[in-house]
Structure 1
Amino acid sequence: MRVIGVTGGVGSGKSFVLNYIEEHFDARVVKADDVGHLLMMPGQVCYEPVIRLFGDWIVNEDGSLNRETIAQIVFEKKDMLEKLDKIIHPAVKKYIVREIERSKKEETEFFFIEAALLLEDNYDEIYDELWYIYCEKEVRMERLRRDRGYSEEKARKVMENQLSEDEFEAKCDFLLYNDEDVAHTYLQIERRMRTYYEPM
């Protein structure tokens, strides 16, 4: 099984690329954000530590955590974001390692890990290679405004908190251009995936 990390700036279209891969190949896709949300649910490993960090007032009436409030706090207070990351990121990584082992036993051909912090969190210990999804900053800004309702200020601030394009490109094994030409994106994916079936 080949383990592939997928990263890119916010709004670059990582989910779009991975949805296509999941539909057309024998591939398991795990997104770090989704795992983080799962592990913050009642009874999961991050639930109590997050309550201890923020206080009982972030718990909704149904027992779930108010993720919108948490997101707002960490967006404004970098120290709280760092503390939250120390709770969530190691647990997410441990979960993903377990899922990789499970997929190997199921003889899945490909395992894709999608996370914004693959480089920062040393996921190179886990994946065989890294894909970087590239998209022009202006297109990403427009996607964030259109799809997530971000203000221009919020979109810029989120982008500033991520590694630069040069840093991503220097570390990646495959650069995929995901502009507005969907057919071109699909073609790049198909060509790359075909290389894994060709004899060395």
Structure 2
Amino acid sequence: MKLPYQVGITGGIGSGKSLVCRILQRGFDAPVYDADSRAKYLMQHKQELIEQIIRHFGKEAYHTDGTLNRAYLAERVFHDAQAVKQLNTLVHPQVALDYQAWLLAHKQFPYVVREAALMIESGAHATVDLLVLVAAPVEVRIRRVLQRDPHRNRAQVEAIIAKQMSEEEKRRYAHYVIENDGTRPLLPQVVRLHELITKAIRKQQGQL
């Protein structure tokens, strides 16, 4: 069965990866799978995953109405690397299965986009045809997050960034880097990315 060309887009918090995905989706009709949003959905709707989370993190992981207790879970895992690893071990395989079903449902498209903050950490980068990193300086990212999420403070954002894989390390995995530092126009870089994807697809099909 022929599947679409798969493009992975990753980047740290505040890098602008979601904006790049929206441009590809609206400008070039590329379907986008938002792994982070789907993970949150599955944690609240997939019974098998819900039971696993309760078994490992307790009934407090969910409110009495069945909704995910995000504050409790965040508190449990934020300062405990082992707990983070355990939660990811439960969630990432379910997201991978969900993505495969989504991919089959979009097989008529030339290419699809998979967006994930932890794409490299989860190993999902090895399953895409092209890995794209959206990069930006730390100070720029912090400023963006504080503007976007007024409930966060600088210390909280810095703590999140400190726990993520460094941008320098992510660059070693990326096939293509979009510099979203606020000084270089973003749109031409995304258009160039689309052109590279289109060329790769044609080459894959033996048209070049």
TM more than 0.5: yes
**Contact 2:10 / 2:118 at 8 angstroms: preserved in 1?**
yes
2:205 — aligned with what? none
Q: Does 1:94 pair with 2:102?
A: no
1:156 — aligned with what? 158
1:120 — aligned with what? 121
CA drift at 1:100: 1.5
CA drift at 1:50: 0.9
CA drift at 1:84: 0.9
**Contact 2:24 / 2:194 at 8 angstroms: preserved in 1?**
no
Q: Which runs of 5+ in 1 are unaligned?
A: none
CA drift at 1:86: 0.9
TM-score by length of 2: 0.87
Superposed CA RMSD in Å reads: 1.8
In structure 1, C-alpha distance between the alignment counterparts of 2:124 and 2:70, rounded to whole Å: 25
Report percent identity of matched pairs.
28
TM-score by length of 1: 0.90
Which aligned runs of 4 or more in structure 1 are off by greater than 4 angstroms? none
Q: Which runs of 5+ in 2 are unaligned?
A: 203-207
TM-aligned CA distance change 1:152 to 1:127, over 3 Å: same
CA drift at 1:120: 1.9
In structure 1, C-alpha distance between the alignment counterparts of 2:197 and 2:90, rounded to whole Å: 36
In structure 1, C-alpha distance between the alignment counterparts of 2:47 and 2:180, rounded to whole Å: 35
| Count of aligned pairs | 197
**Contact 2:5 / 2:112 at 8 angstroms: preserved in 1?**
yes
Aligned partner of residue 150 in structure 1, secondary structure: coil
TM-aligned CA distance change 1:196 to 1:6, over 3 Å: closer
